[in-house]
Amino acid sequence: MVNKLLKTAIGRLRIVAFLEGCSYLLLGFTMILKYKYAMPQPNYIVGLAHGILFVIYVVLLLQVSFLHRWNLLKIVGAFVASLIPFGTFYADKALFR
């Protein structure tokens, strides 16, 4: 299934959206480790991964929006979804299929 998704731009966007959403949720957990238990290293690693995934998400979002000629409202909606916890999971169901 993953191999099939990797062949299309929208498939790659869906995979990165899922990973970006997971990293966002994991970042919330590592914040607890950082501030409550004085363990900053997990937060640093997850934060770095989340940042990289966010940039890849935005690049793929722009690529898909040009390929599929999305309107501005759909592009903005997909971008805002990446800023809200669980937003990329919703965007996968509502926008990327």
Residuewise pLDDT in 10s, the chain (97 residues):
667 778 899 999 999 999 999 999 999 999 999 999 999 999 999 999 999 999 999 999 999 999 999 999 999 999 999 999 999 999 999 988 8
Q: Is residue 5 situated within a structural domain?
A: no
Supply the pLDDT for residue 48: 97
Q: Is residue 1 situated within a structural domain?
A: no
Range of the domain at 47: 10-94
| Structural domain count of the chain | 1
Contact status, residue 20 vs residue 84, Cβ threshold 8 Å: no
Supply the pLDDT for residue 25: 95
Q: Is residue 2 situated within a structural domain?
A: no
CA distance 95 to 79: 11
Q: Is residue 3 situated within a structural domain?
A: no
CA distance 66 to 27: 30
pTM of the complete model: 0.91
